[in-house]
A = this chain, B = another copy of it.
Amino acid sequence: MENTAIHLIARPTTGITPDLFELRHSPVPEVADGQLLVRQTYMSLDPAMLGWMSADRESYIPPVELGEVMRSSGYGEVVESRHPDFAVGDKVMGMFGWQEYALSNGQGINKVTVDLPPEAVLSILALPGLTATQGLFNVGKPKAGETLVVTGAAGSVGSLVGQLAKAEGLRVVGVAGGEEKCRWLVDELGFDGAIDYKSDGLAEQLAALTPDGVDIFFENTGGPIQQLIFDRMNTHGRIVVCGMIADYLSANPAPGPNWIRMIKKRLTIQGFAMPDHFGQVPQLLGKLAPYVMAGKIKYRAHVLDGLESAITGLPLLFTGKNTGKLMVKL
């Protein structure tokens, strides 16, 4: 039986291009005692993957080594098991990489026991949902009646953050690119307002939509709107820094806001990354699942077809051209 995998063979400099990757075939590995074999059926494509591809050893997890299979999270089924906790047929999610079959010792793999289609599992329960839940609840500490502004609001994490905050009784304003995404946020997801960051009069739009200021700023993008949102932060406001997608590919990332307002308003800015919290996945899923089961969470999946579509698909995340949670069906 043959495994097909995509390996990282070069570091991105200005963008994600096909020459960074190589398709390789190899025999599916033998399953030893304590191991299991997963046939992956869906792979998730996420903005964080650009960081994992870079040579930056300063980041929160080591980069993918050149020659290794590209790192990614995914969904699949156990097809062989010599591990006591997993049986053939179990639905699982984990960091399986860009390949059809993944061998594992079970570490970091979570069984999917809820009755949801794989697209929903990857859109809501996997990395986006864990990230949104950790960031919103454990970092942002939302209280009913507060105002939250989320950037990248139509993205996989942002759309969940906004919906969870709405379910908690907050006023929610989303920032996204383009009128269509903004309409989706308000009409479908029930946001109180949305701002197209490509439009004019951003400061005025923001002021009109946040008449009581901003208590929680959930930052997924960076870009010029960051300063405008920062300028509206209320006393004891919290800023959750989850992503800076506008700056990841920039040689000269834009500076951030001056810190005087940090003192005046006693703000907290906190960066976080999910790998610090993989040990808390069961608790995070326990927090998230009731919202999903209560039908509070809608999603849009953008499904690409076939392993190789990952290579041309990943750049969509950095141009905002994806129209939902980006994933690959194998």
Q: How many Å from the CB of A74 to the closest CB on chain B? A: 23
B contact residues around A305 at 8 Å (CB): none
Instruction: Assess whether B269 is in contact with A273, with CB atoms less than 8 Å apart.
Output: no
Beta-carbon contacts of A223-252 to B below 8 Å, as 1s and 0s?
000100000000100000111100110000
How many Å lie between the Cα of A219 and that of B272 in the bound state? 21
Which of B242, B253, B262, B273 meets A241, CB within 8 Å?
Answer: B262
Give Cα A215 to B285, complex, Å: 31
Contacts of A270 in B (CB 8 A): 262, 266-269
Query: Could you say how many copies of this chain the assembly holds?
Result: 2
Known contacts A253-B258, A257-B256, A260-B253; decide if A269 and B266 are in contact (CB<8 Å).
no
Contact A271 B266 (CB under 8 A): yes
Contacts A255-B255, A255-B257, A259-B244 given; indicate if A264 touches B59 (C-beta within 8 A). Answer: yes
The reply on A58 being an interface residue by CB < 8 A is yes
A327 and B260 CA atoms in complex are apart in Å by: 25
User: Which 3 pairs between the two chains have the least Cβ-Cβ distance?
Assistant: A262-B271, A255-B255, A253-B258
Given contacts A267-B270, A268-B270, 5 further A-B contacts (CB under 8 A): A58-B265, A244-B259, A256-B256, A266-B271, A269-B269
The chain A residues found within 8 Å of chain B, CB to CB, are: 51, 56, 58-60, 219, 222, 226, 235, 241-244, 247-248, 253-273, 276
